[in-house]
Structure 1
Amino acid sequence: MSSAQFNAGQSHGQAEAKTQQWIDSAKSTAESAHDKACDAAGKTQGQAQRSKEESAGFLQQTGEQMVHMAQGAIDGVKNTLGMGDKK
């Protein structure tokens, strides 16, 4: 085997090794990006669920206040007309 063929073979081997390093690096970068995206999605989903629960609690509380106010208004009208418990 001539020196030129040896050098060509060696260069080819080095190029293959370098290509494999680039592929491995790209895979690692892609996996890292995927993991970060999944983490972010999970956090966002959790925050959305907490916001939904907080909103539901607020609306429930507001609805109950409205019911009490309406009942108070009804009782006031009944008392004014002499139809209430307080005659």
Structure 2
Amino acid sequence: MSSAQFNAGESHGQAEAKTERWIDSAKNVANSAVDKAENATQRASESAQQNNDHNAGFLQQKGEQMIHMAQGAIDGVKNTLGMGSEKK
């Protein structure tokens, strides 16, 4: 084997090794990006669930307040008409 052939073979081997390192590096970057995307998705899902829970509680509380206000109004009308339990 001549020196030129040896150098060509060595260069080819180095190029293959460098290509494999680049591929491994690209795979690591891609895996890292996937992990970050999965984490962001999980956090967004948890945040949305917390917001839903908070909003449901808020709406239920407001609904109960409206029911009490309406009942108070009904009782006031009944009392005004003399139909309520607080007869004057």
Q: Common fold, TM-score beyond 0.5?
A: yes
Give the C-alpha shift of residue 54 in structure 1. Answer: 0.3
Aligned length: 87
Distance 2:32 2:5 in 1: 40
Q: CA deviation at 1:68?
A: 0.1
CA distance in 2 between counterparts of 1:36 and 1:77 reads: 61
Counterparts in 2 of 1:12-27, with a 5 A limit? 12-27=12-27
Which stretches of structure 1, 4 residues or longer, exceed 2 Å deviation after superposition?
none
Q: Which residue of 1 aligns with 2:50?
A: 50
| Structure 1 residue 62 corresponds to structure 2 residue 24 | no
d(CA) in 2 for partners of 1:40 and 1:86?
Answer: 60
Identity across aligned pairs (percent)? 70
State the alpha-carbon separation in 1 of the partners of residues 49 and 73 from structure 2. 36
* Equivalent position of 2:34 in the other structure: 34
Structure 2 unaligned blocks of 5 or more? none
Q: TM-score, normalised by structure 2?
A: 0.98
Pairwise CA RMSD: 0.3
TM-score, with structure 1 as normaliser:
0.99
